[in-house]
Amino acid sequence: MKSLKFTILITLFTVFCNTVSAGDCPKGPLPVSSDLHRALTHAEKEMEKGHNQKALHLLADYTRKNASDTHPQLPFLKGLIQYGLKRFNDSESSFKETVKRDPCFGEAWQNLAVVYNRQNRPAEAAEAMEKAFTLIKPENPALQYQAALLHVHAGSAHKALPLLKDLTSGPKPKGEWFEALSHVYASLSQPTNAAKSMEKAIRLKPDSARKYRAACLWIKADQPQKALPLLKEICATKKPHSQWRASLAHVLESLGKNDEAAKEKKPADVFRSALLHLKNDDPKKALPLLQTLSMKPNPNAQ
- Quickly count: other Cβ atoms within 10 Å of residue 63's Cβ: 15
pLDDT at position 11 over 90: no
Highest mean pLDDT among 25-29, 79-83, 135-139, 267-271: 79-83
- Quickly count: other Cβ atoms within 10 Å of residue 149's Cβ: 27
The pLDDT > 90 percentage for the chain reads 69
Q: What is the pLDDT of residue 206?
A: 94
Q: What is the mean pLDDT of the chain?
A: 86
d(CA 35, CA 191): 60
Confidence of residue 22 (pLDDT cuts 50, 70, 90): low
138: cis peptide before it, omega within 30°?
yes
Determine the average pLDDT of the residues in 90-117: 96
pLDDT at position 30 over 90: no
Q: What is the pLDDT of residue 289?
A: 58
Confidence of residue 25 (pLDDT cuts 50, 70, 90): confident
Query: Per-residue pLDDT tens for 234-259?
Result: 999 988 998 898 899 889 989 989 87
pLDDT at position 16 over 60: no
Residue 40's Cβ-count burial label (10 Å; 0-12, 13-18, 19+) is: buried
- Do 129 and 147 contact (CB within 8 A), yes or no? yes
pLDDT at position 276 over 90: no
Phi, psi of 127 (to 5 degrees): -65, -40
- Do 219 and 195 contact (CB within 8 A), yes or no? no
Q: What is the pLDDT of residue 123?
A: 97
Q: What is the pLDDT of residue 282?
A: 62
Query: Per-residue pLDDT tens for 52-95?
Result: 999 999 999 999 999 999 999 999 999 999 999 999 999 999 99
Confidence of residue 23 (pLDDT cuts 50, 70, 90): low
Determine the average pLDDT of the residues in 11-20: 51
Determine the average pLDDT of the residues in 201-220: 96
Determine the average pLDDT of the residues in 180-199: 98
Q: Could you tell me the domains of the chain?
A: 19-24+75-154 (1.25.40.10), 267-296 (no CATH)
Determine the average pLDDT of the residues in 187-209: 97
Exposure letters 272-293 (e unless 16+ CB within 10 A, then b): ebbeebeeeeeeeebeebbebb
Which residue in 278, 254, 252, 279 sits closest to 263, CA to CA?
Answer: 252
Determine the average pLDDT of the residues in 103-126: 95
> What is the torsional sign of CA 71, 74, 77, 79?
negative
Determine the average pLDDT of the residues in 149-173: 96
